Amino acid sequence: MRVMQIHFWGDARNLTGSVEKVLSGFAEMAADDIELDIASCGNGEPQSSGKATYVFFQENRLINRVCNKWLGLHSFTYPSLIRLIEARHPDLIHLHNRQEIADEIIR
């Protein structure tokens, strides 16, 4: 089973606090039959670290802010995340602090 943990607030390799707790919790559950992907904003090729693989997507923060916060359009501005999900085919997706976009992702 492939589990994908998605973070929107920057590169998960550099985040601490609640994100670090969530990452360590998911890493602890990674057994031989579980592949753990940690997806976050960033660049580069996938990187393995222990039981997890860090994968990256791009976010256009300006378009996201203009469309969603200032204009209130509720627009989904993460097409690179959708491509990443389609490429990795996770069985389970966990969105860290962005549950409101779950419907957009699974469409």
Given a cut of 60, is residue 30 above it in pLDDT? no
pLDDT mean over 80-93 = 90
**Residues in CB range of 55: below 8 A, 6 or more apart:** 4, 37, 38, 39, 46, 84, 88
pLDDT mean over 28-51 = 81
Q: Is there a contact between 104 and 74 (Cβ–Cβ < 8 Å)?
A: no
Q: Which residue has the tokens 């690179």?
A: 80
Beta pairing class for 2-7 and 52-57? unpaired
The whole-model pTM stands at 0.73
Q: What is the pLDDT of residue 73?
A: 73
| Number of alpha helices (DSSP H) and beta strands (DSSP E) in the chain | 4, 5
